[in-house]
């Protein structure tokens, strides 16, 4: 009789495979949130922005379908809890937006660039990880815990079990929760799809259309992997747990904290209490998928810093991304795709802060130039 595979192994290896595809597709389609914003601000070109929005719509619809069918319990996610640390979310999102703009891309984009041969992005990721770890457990974490996180809005005081748009809608209108989910997804999804598909040039761009759909489906698959396949009884403690996730609950893609945990694992490799988690596996998967595509398409190129000034700017951006990504509970993928797919109010706040800060930074850079 064959021995059953440990659920942790399914989650870790499954996360790596999903992220491998994510990295390859993102490299192929030049998927980049900061790049999408830059295209709009500097060239008034909305192609990559529409691809990102399409990925969000697909992720949102698929994730809410999993939830309404009882396949995953999104109420356990870190994004939808009734505690809303709005100051941390806004400031963290804003600093992340500034950081990714002056560093030339978010954590996900830097993982993709490392796969393409960018030593510059490798240095940026190391400093993102150090800053993120300092925000999780170090001196930055003391500032976050003392001054930002205590400024929290407790929605349970108003009888709300979470901070999602359907829960708010159900409370305001008296709709059943599943109906509120249907209304929220239909209204928001249709509005975004109308905007996305009204551009004929985008509709003809098969690469970006398919890229957006695939990336969105991968976010959904990650929720199913950690929230359904990876949810079960721990054979050692007989407790019902979520296996192999750093948050000890269901997760989807997010890349700032996992980079920090990855550095921790490398530095403390002999510490048997530290294991490869879903987040670490997805970070490695994105890098590996990007590398595979770069080699297959013969686009792999070594890249370094252009100047000492470029090095300094990139490192400042990396530190801001590390602090902002942890403080805001996610990055442009962690909050901008995974978080938004849960319809959490906090995720919309973070996404708005990231975009606003990035746009303001780009305008400042253009003015300074």
Can you name the residues that pair with 183 across neighbouring β-strands? none
The whole-number pLDDT of residue 235 equals 81
**How far apart are the C-alpha atoms of 207 and 196, rounded to whole Å?**
15
Burial 252-287 (b: 16+ CB within 10 A, else e): bbbbbbbbbbbbbeeeeeeeeeeebbbbbbbbbbbb
Pick the closest to residue 167 from 252, 82, 70 (CA basis): 82
Q: Where are the beta strands (DSSP E) in the chain?
A: 83-84, 153-154, 231-233, 240-242
User: pLDDT per position in the chain (369 positions), as tens?
Assistant: 344 568 999 999 999 999 999 999 999 999 999 999 999 999 999 999 999 999 999 999 999 999 999 999 999 999 999 999 999 999 999 999 999 999 999 999 999 999 999 999 999 999 999 999 999 999 999 999 999 999 999 999 999 999 999 999 999 999 999 999 999 999 999 999 999 999 999 999 999 999 999 999 999 999 999 999 999 988 877 788 999 999 999 999 999 999 999 999 999 999 988 999 999 999 999 999 999 999 999 999 999 998 999 999 999 999 999 999 999 999 999 999 999 999 999 999 999 999 999 999 999 999 988
The whole-number pLDDT of residue 236 equals 78
The whole-number pLDDT of residue 1 equals 35
The whole-number pLDDT of residue 2 equals 42
The whole-number pLDDT of residue 238 equals 75
| Helix (H/G/I), strand (E/B), else coil: 231 | strand
| 153-154/231-233 β-pairing | unpaired
Q: How far is CA 44 from CA 8, 39, 357, in A?
A: 45, 6, 18
């Amino acid at each position: 009789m064959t021995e059953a595979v440990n659920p942790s192994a399914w989650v870790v290896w499954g996360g790596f495979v999903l992220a491998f595809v994510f990295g390859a597709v993102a490299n192929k389609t030049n998927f980049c949130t900061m790049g999408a914003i830059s295209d709009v601000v500097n060239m008034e070109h909305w192609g990559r922005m529409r691809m990102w929005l399409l990925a969000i719509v697909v992720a949102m619809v698929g994730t809410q379908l999993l939830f309404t069918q009882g396949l995953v319990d999104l109420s356990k996610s870190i994004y939808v809890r009734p505690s809303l640390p709005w100051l941390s979310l806004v400031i963290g999102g804003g600093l992340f937006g500034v950081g990714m703009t002056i560093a030339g891309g978010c954590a996900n984009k830097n993982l993709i660039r490392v796969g393409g041969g960018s030593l510059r992005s490798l240095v940026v990721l190391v400093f993102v990880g150090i800053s993120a770890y300092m925000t999780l457990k170090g001196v930055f974490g003391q500032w976050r815990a003392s001054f930002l996180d205590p400024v929290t809005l407790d929605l349970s005081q108003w009888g709300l079990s979470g901070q999602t748009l359907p829960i708010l809608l159900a409370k305001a209108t008296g709709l059943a929760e599943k109906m509120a989910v249907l209304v929220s997804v239909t209204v928001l999804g249709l509005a975004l799809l109308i905007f996305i598909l009204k551009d004929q040039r985008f509709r003809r761009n098969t690469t970006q259309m398919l890229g957006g759909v695939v990336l969105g489906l991968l976010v959904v698959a990650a929720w199913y992997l950690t929230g359904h396949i990876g949810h079960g009884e721990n054979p050692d403690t007989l407790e019902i747990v979520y296996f192999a996730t750093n948050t000890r609950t269901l997760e989807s893609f997010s890349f700032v904290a996992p980079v920090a945990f990855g550095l921790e694992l490398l530095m403390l490799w002999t510490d048997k209490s530290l294991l490869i988690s879903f987040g670490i596996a997805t970070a490695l998967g994105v890098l590996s998928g990007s590398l595979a595509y770069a080699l297959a398409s013969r686009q792999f190129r070594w890249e370094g810093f252009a100047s000492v000034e470029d090095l300094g700017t990139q490192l400042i951006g990396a530190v801001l991304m590390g602090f902002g990504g942890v403080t805001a509970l996610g990055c442009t993928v962690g909050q901008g795709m995974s978080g938004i797919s849960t319809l959490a109010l906090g995720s919309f706040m973070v996404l708005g802060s990231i975009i606003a800060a990035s746009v303001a930074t780009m305008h400042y850079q253009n003015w300074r130039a």
